[in-house]
Amino acid sequence: MSIIAPAETATETSHFIDGCWTARGGPTFAVRNPLDDSLVAEAAAGGRADAEAAVAAAAAAFPAWAAMPPGERQRLFLKAADIVDAREDEIVRLMAREGGSSRAFAAFQIRLSAAMLRQAAGWGYLPAGDVLRSDVAGRTATVTRKPLGVVAGFTPWNGAFYLAWRTFLLPMAFGNTTVIKPSEEAPLSAGLIHAEILEQAGFPAGSFNVVTHAPGAAAEIADVFFASPAVRCIDFTGSDRTARILGERAGRALKRMVLELGGFNPVLVLDEADIEEAVKAVTFGAFLHQGQVCMNSRKVYIARDRHDEFVAGLRARVEALKVGDPTDPEVIIGPLINDRAVAQIDERVRDAVDRGATLVTGGTHEGRLYRPTILTHVPPEAICTTGCDETFGPLLVIEAFDDVETAIADAQSTPYGLSAAIMTGDRGRGLDIAERFDAGIVHVNAPTMASEAALPVGGVKDSGWGRSGHYAIEDFTEVRLTTVSRDPGRYPF
Ligand code: NAD
């Protein structure tokens, strides 16, 4: 089965449960191209019974997957990486049609995904534990890392292809089996295409399962995850708003959660920075995937005496970005995911302008194609600059500063702490400032979006917790203490 239909016609998709494509002929929902609402697929509209079957399959597959020797798992991951490379063109087309991804963004995700698969292929060989000293003579204590069991993942629509791998690959690399619930906005590129690839690579039945659902049915699937004793961890990527709902439920169910949430992602451009470099880094960091990535830059703080030069350079570069149908390889800015996203950015741009902000460029849209937008002189009370709620679209606020300490304090005054960037001609100064940032990721002389497969990505504060790369061993394993005693015990009673 291929979910990428010939001649790009609409296809009908199923769940992937216990190594089988199931539910054809059952209820479906329409997945539409955000550019023109054309039908991409009729996807299976799953519910409780599908989620229960998927969890049961993952639980049954767990013992064998957890016990699989690292070399065997490694072969599977490496094969999957080769398939990702080989299917690049199809995946690029799918992401354009389903999610509005430009070729540049899709290719970026595909490269990262293949790299992460190749990294993860080796993680089975990481040290499995420690031998500890005991205060009891003749006792040996060993600590072993064990997989948790079934990990249930919520995969997002925005960086769908790469972020879905990140959601299930990390737990699987450490011996867990998984059930994925892709976002209803992009079920194909946030889960089903992965099932095809893993099936093609020969992953055992039940090790990886996908259940898709119609809009409004997410909570029903989540109910199954929270109710099932086999599900030991919920791996969620999405908004802090939904994370709070799920977090309360996880508390009641006493389930571990990994949370990859949003960010406000400031960039500090210091007075000695190379402005041309800063312009390039900010254009990429703010407008990749039309600002719909958790690590997109939302606000730039620029030394006042470099402000005009920076804004002029940025405006010229941003206005040259081609906006349109993302199947055109020249297009950088494709459509926003839905009408809600267009309404959100539009309202916030208008709110800022009404309060006296200067619109440098953008601020208009044709359908869901929103032109990249830059605002300066934004009053602090404007919604888009308070940093309390990320604007998930192509909107960048620029603020001039006189005192770098005030700018650093302001940049950190948001509830988020995902990524930050500092552009400077003085790496020592950049590092000093970086050390003071309360964020999961700080880049000196690189965009806020400088992801690499092997590096730990994750946030602090309302941006969540959990880290990618091999650091995910902390999230997806637990520590087992085993002791063995040589001598008879001595007891107080
Ligand atoms: P969202 O929170 O609306 O939805 C995320 C997921 O939660 C979807 O799968 C949805 O079906 C599910 N969901 C929604 N309501 C639910 C409920 N009541 N019960 C159970 N499940 C529910 O987020 P979104 O708009 O799809 O994604 C955008 C957000 O994700 C942004 O905030 C972005 O910053 C964040 N994000 C973070 C990262 C990261 O790595 N830190 C990556 C991508 C996106």
Q: Rounded CA gap, 402 and 312, in Å?
A: 19
Contact 311, 376 (CB under 8 A): yes
Check: CATH 3.40.309.10 for 266-444? yes
Q: How many other C-beta atoms can be found within 10 angstroms of the C-beta atom of residue 137?
A: 8
Active-site residue, 20 included: no
Are the CB atoms for 227 and 56 separated by under 8 Å?
no
What is d(CA 271, CA 304) in angstroms, rounded to the nearest whole number? 8
Among protein residues, the one whose CA lies closest to atom 32 of ligand 1: 239
CB atoms within 10 A of CB 98: 26
Fold classification of 11-261 (topology level): Aldehyde Dehydrogenase; Chain A, domain 1 (3.40.605)
> What's the pLDDT at 6?
45
Q: Which atom of ligand 1 is nearest to the CA of 463?
A: 41
Residue bearing tokens 């940025």: 314
Shortest-distance Cα residue to atom 4 of ligand 1 = 238
Taking CB atoms and a 6 Å cutoff, what residues make up the pocket around ligand 1? 154, 156-159, 163, 183-184, 218-219, 222, 237-239, 242, 245-246, 260-262, 294, 390, 392, 418, 459
Which atom of ligand 1 is the closest one to the Cα of 464? 41
Query: How many angstroms separate the Cα of 399 from the Cα of each of 341, 358, 378?
Result: 24, 11, 8
Q: What is the pLDDT of residue 316?
A: 98
Q: What is the pLDDT of residues 3-44, one digit of tens each?
A: 665 446 678 999 999 999 997 678 999 999 999 999 999 999
CB 297 within 8 A of CB 266: yes
Residue nearest to atom 34 of ligand 1 (CA): 262
The CA-atom distances, in angstroms, between 29 and each of 26, 53, 159, 267, 471 are 10, 20, 22, 40, 37
CB 351 within 8 A of CB 384: yes
In the three-class reduction of DSSP (H, G, I as helix; E, B as strand; rest coil), residue 333 is classed as strand
Identify the sign of the CA torsion 470, 471, 474, 480.
positive
Structural contact between residues 382 and 319, judged by C-beta atoms closer than 8 angstroms: no
Q: Whose CA is nearest to atom 37 of ligand 1?
A: 261
Query: Ligand 1: which residue has its CA nearest to atom 17?
Result: 219
Note the pLDDT of residue 1. 56
Taking the centre of ligand 1 as the mean of its atom positions, its distance from the CA of residue 237, in whole angstroms, is 6
Stretches in the chain below the pLDDT threshold 70 = 1-9, 24
The whole-model pTM stands at 0.96
Q: Is 388 part of the annotated catalytic residue set?
A: no
What is the residue type of 430?
A: G
- In a mutational test of the pocket of ligand 1, which residue from 116, 258, 294 has the highest number of ligand atoms less than 8 Å from its CB? 294
pLDDT digits (tens, 9 = 90+) for 439-478: 999 999 999 998 899 999 999 999 999 999 999 999 999 9
At which residue do the structure tokens 């990535």 appear? 293
Structure tokens at 396: 């960048």
- Dist. CA 372 → ligand 1 center (Å): 23
Parse the chain into domains and list their residue ranges. 11-261, 266-444
70-86 vs 193-201: helix crossing angle, rounded to 10: 130
CA 484 vs. chain centroid, Å, equals 43
Residue 67: CA count within 13 A, CB half-sphere: 5
